[in-house]
Structure 1
Amino acid sequence: MNIAILFFGIASIANVSGAEKVFVDMANRFVKEGHIVYSIWNDEPGVVPYYSFLPKVRQVNLGLGKIKAPIKYKFIREVAKGLHLNVTNYVDRYKTEKICQSIQEKIKISDIDVMICYEFNSIMVANKLANGKIPVVAMCHNSVEAQIATLTPLQREEASKVTAYQVLMPSFVDKAKKLLNTDIYYIPNVVNPIPDNAIADLSADKTIYNIIMIGRIDRYQKRSLIAIKSFLEIAAHFPNWELHFYGPITDSKYKKEIDEYIESHDLHHQVIYEGITDNSIGVLHDADIFAFPSAFEGFSLALTEANSMGVPAVGFSSAPAINELIEDNVTGFLAKDERDFTQKLSALMKDKKMRIQMGKSAHQAMNKYSPDEVWGMWLRLLNRLVAENK
């Protein structure tokens, strides 16, 4: 197959985040399987991807940089937003036309067998290029509530034109079917397996035990401060425990709020911000508990990496995806609210045997997300769609 993978809803391909990693991993796996893959994105000329493509992947950076639509289109868009009008977004349409023109200058569209879109911007481009003649598969990289339910009626109409829409959790299928008029498929993300002899040793006696939190510093989704407050509420009772949190700062005001809270409440310097890590597996190998206070997720790579490493996690029962990835009282705890989060964290910190047992269960639970299983699901879907189209 000739596969085009499109990703236009990012600030830069040099970003360190889950969607960019999946974008590169997918391209690499498909070329390993013998397919021709075009990975297409738009960035400033010469920007190097953070994650490495294999040499056989045909990398296409359109090099247009930030596309600036005419001011009149922006004015119409803002008026429509303010009045809640369901009208054409001329800014999106302008950008779509520019991107389509650039792609057609670089790739022969008739050679493509199937297109995969990483977000709504790519859906608009793929639908226009395919013109009903090439199968288009759209991906949902977050919860349905966060990515599909937030689309306008016109955007959902556009999204419903794709041949198939992929979601990350089984429960997302029915949710998506209520919002879109196309076929919905469940395919999770890949969780790279950790050998049994390489997982975190939760039985070891340590001078310092570690709670790890990995995720961008973001007030509305990742909510790092919730876990920090929970830990510091009980930290005086656990002098040999520390909380280390990692991730890019995408909300500087929120980071300042976190810093101020730590300064006034962390009496024994037990909370440490470590910045961005490019070695999450190494960090998790030294973890004893994974704290994950997100409000919602699609399929968290950080959480599943922690589970694969054999580290139990604490999350919220109200959080989509998290409440399916964490099996309550088996692979970790699902808290009802912030007070319960503190209590669950304390329970795990007190009980090493519980941590060990939950960690083993978490490690075993990740087998169903192995690369062979997940990429097999993808290739079966793509092969079927291409065969039906021909």
Structure 2
Amino acid sequence: MNIALLFFGIASISNVSGAEKVFVEMANRFSERGATVYTIWNDSPGVVPYYPFNSQVKQVNLGFGKIKAPVSYKVLREISKGLHLNIKNRVDQYRTDKLCQAIRKQINLSKIDVMICYEFNSIMVANQLSQEKIPVVAMCHNSVEDQIASLTTLQRKEASKVTAYQVLMPSFVDKAKKFLNTDIYCIPNVVKTIPDSFVADLSLCKKIYRIIMIGRIDCHQKRPLIAIRAFLKNASRFSNWQLHFYGPITDSEYKQKIDEYIKVHDLHHQVIYEGITDMPLNVLHNADIFAFPSAYEGFGLALAEANSVGLPAVGFAAAPAVNELIEDKVTGFLATDEDDFARKLTLLMDNRALRVQMGKAAREAMKTYSPDVVWGQWEELLQKVVHKRIDE
């Protein structure tokens, strides 16, 4: 099978974010399973992907960098937004046309069996290239509320043209059906099986115990300050506990707010920002609890990786995807608010046996998302849409 993966909604392929990781991982795994894979994105010339592709994967960077549409198109777009006019976005269409022209010059589309889109910009490109002759599968990498419900009426109409739309959690299927008129399938992210040597031994008696957070430093989705405040409410009782948080700073003002809060309230210097880690498994291996204060997720790769290493987690009951990955009182705790988050952290910090019990349950739960299971589901979906188009 010849598969084209399209990803145009990113700032750069050199980013360390989860969607870029899934993009590269999918390309590598499909190629290993015998497919010919074309990865197509647009970045500045010569930019190197943060996550490495296998040598078999055909990499196509269109090389435009940021595409600047005519000023008149931008003005019209802003006027239509202000007046809530339901008209075509000329800026998006300009970029789509430019990307499509470049792809046609570099890819023989007659050889492509199916196209997979990573976000809405790629959907527009794929639909224009396909002309309903090539099956198109779209992916939703975050919650339905964040990535589908937020589309305009015209964008939802465009998204409904795809052959199939993939979402990450079972509860997202019915939510997506409220906005899209196409087939919806649930296929989760892959969670790698972790070797026993990397599994956290929570039974050990330690001088220092660690709570870990991994995620972007931003105030809208990842919200690390909530977990920091929750930890510091009771940190004075737990002098041998520390909270280490990792991730790129995407909101410098929010990071400054975190720093100021830590300076005032972290009396025993128990909260430490570690920057970006290239070795998350090593970090998680030496941890005891995973804190995950996200407002919403599409899946929560960092949470899943922590679970697979055998760490119990604390998240929020109202957070989409988080409230499905964490089984409350089994693999961790789901909190109702910040004070409850603090209470749930304290329960785990106070009880080593509970940490061990929940950690084992969390590791077992992640087997549902093993590579063989998830890539098998993807292959089944792709075969289905390709054969459906042939039958038509």
Superposed pair shares fold, TM > 0.5: yes
Partner of 2:258: 258
Alignment of 1:329-344 (within 5 A): 329-344=329-344
User: Matches of 2:293 and 2:125 in 1, distance apart?
Assistant: 35
- TM-score (normalised: structure 2): 0.99
The answer for the alignment partner of 2:124 in structure 1 is 124
The amino acid that maps onto 2:373 is: E
In structure 1, C-alpha distance between the alignment counterparts of 2:343 and 2:216, rounded to whole Å: 24
Question: In 2, distance between residues paired with 1:21 and 1:291?
Answer: 21
The residue that corresponds to 1:64 in the other structure is 64
Preserved CA contact (<8 Å) 2:198 2:281: no
How many Å separate the matches in 1 of 2:319 and 2:388? 37
2:198 touches 2:282 (CA, 8 Å); kept in 1?
Answer: no
State the identity %. 71
Unmatched 5+ residue regions in structure 1?
none
The equivalent residue for 1:174 is 174
C-alpha displacement of 1:110: 1.2
In 1, Cα distance between the equivalents of 2:251 and 2:345? 26
Distance 1:84 1:218 in 2: 29
1:31 is aligned to 2:31 = yes
Matching residue of 1:154:
154
Q: In structure 2, list runs of 5 or more residues that go unmatched.
A: none
Equivalent position SS for 1:104: helix
Are 1:210 and 2:204 an aligned pair?
A: no
* 1:174-194 deviation digits (Å, cap 9, x = unpaired): 000011000000000000011
The aligned residue for residue 377 of structure 1 is 377
Matches of 1:276 and 1:195, distance apart in 2: 23
Tell me, what secondary structure is at the counterpart of 2:44?
coil
Deviation sequence 1:146-190 (CA, Å, 0-9, x none): 100000000000000000000000000000001100000000000
Q: Per-residue displacement from partner, 1:95-139 (whole Å, max 9, x unpaired)?
A: 000000010110011111100000000000000000000000000
3-state SS in 2 of match to 1:220: coil
- The Cα of 1:198 is off from its aligned counterpart by 3.2
C-alpha separation between the residues in 2 aligned to 1:388 and 1:321?
Answer: 30
- What secondary structure is seen at the aligned counterpart in 2 of 1:77? helix
Q: CA deviation at 1:80?
A: 1.1
> 1:307 & 1:285 partners in 2: Cα distance?
11
Partner Cα distance (1:262, 1:274) in 2: 14
Secondary structure of 1:103's match? helix
Q: CA deviation at 1:339?
A: 0.8
> Which secondary structure does the structure 2 equivalent of 1:154 belong to?
helix
Paired position in structure 2 for 1:294: 294
Could you tell me how far apart the structure 2 residues matched to 1:223 and 1:276 are?
16
Q: Which amino acid aligns with 2:353?
A: K
Q: What does residue 314 of structure 1 align with?
A: 314
Question: Match for residue 111 of structure 1?
Answer: 111
Deviation larger for 195-204 or 241-250? 195-204
Matched to 2:102, the amino acid is S
Counterpart amino acid of residue 38 in structure 1: Y
Contact 2:5–2:27, Cα closer than 8 Å, also in 1? yes
Alpha-carbon shift at residue 196 of structure 1 (Å)? 3.7
Give the equivalent residue in structure 2 for 1:352: 352
Other-structure match for 1:99: 99
Partner of 1:361: 361
* Counterpart Cα distance in 1 of 2:157 and 2:385: 21
Secondary structure at the counterpart of residue 274 of structure 2: strand
Q: Distance in 2 between matches of 1:34 and 1:329?
A: 42
Separation in structure 2 between the aligned mates of residue 172 and residue 163 of structure 1, nearest angstrom: 18
Name which of structure 1's ranges 195-204 and 13-22 shifts more when overlaid on structure 2: 195-204
C-alpha separation between the residues in 2 aligned to 1:388 and 1:86?
33
- 1:239 to 2:239 alignment: yes
What secondary structure, in the 3-state scheme, does the structure 1 residue paired with 2:166 have?
strand
Give the number of equivalent residue pairs.
Answer: 390
Q: Measure how far apart 1:68 and its partner are.
A: 0.1
Q: CA deviation at 1:386?
A: 1.0
Q: Tell me how far apart the structure 2 counterparts of residues 178 and 167 of structure 1 sit (CA, whole Å).
A: 13
Q: Return the offset for 1:197.
A: 4.8
Write the letter of the residue equivalent to 2:378: W
What secondary structure, in the 3-state scheme, does the structure 2 residue paired with 1:6 have?
Answer: strand
Q: CA RMSD in A?
A: 0.6
For 1:215, give the aligned amino acid: G
1:267 and 1:353 map into 2 onto residues whose CA distance is: 28
Rounded Cα–Cα distance in structure 1 between residues aligned with 2:35 and 2:225: 44
1:107 aligned partner, one-letter code: I
Q: TM-score, normalised by structure 1?
A: 0.99
The alpha-carbon deviation at position 195 of structure 1 amounts to 2.9
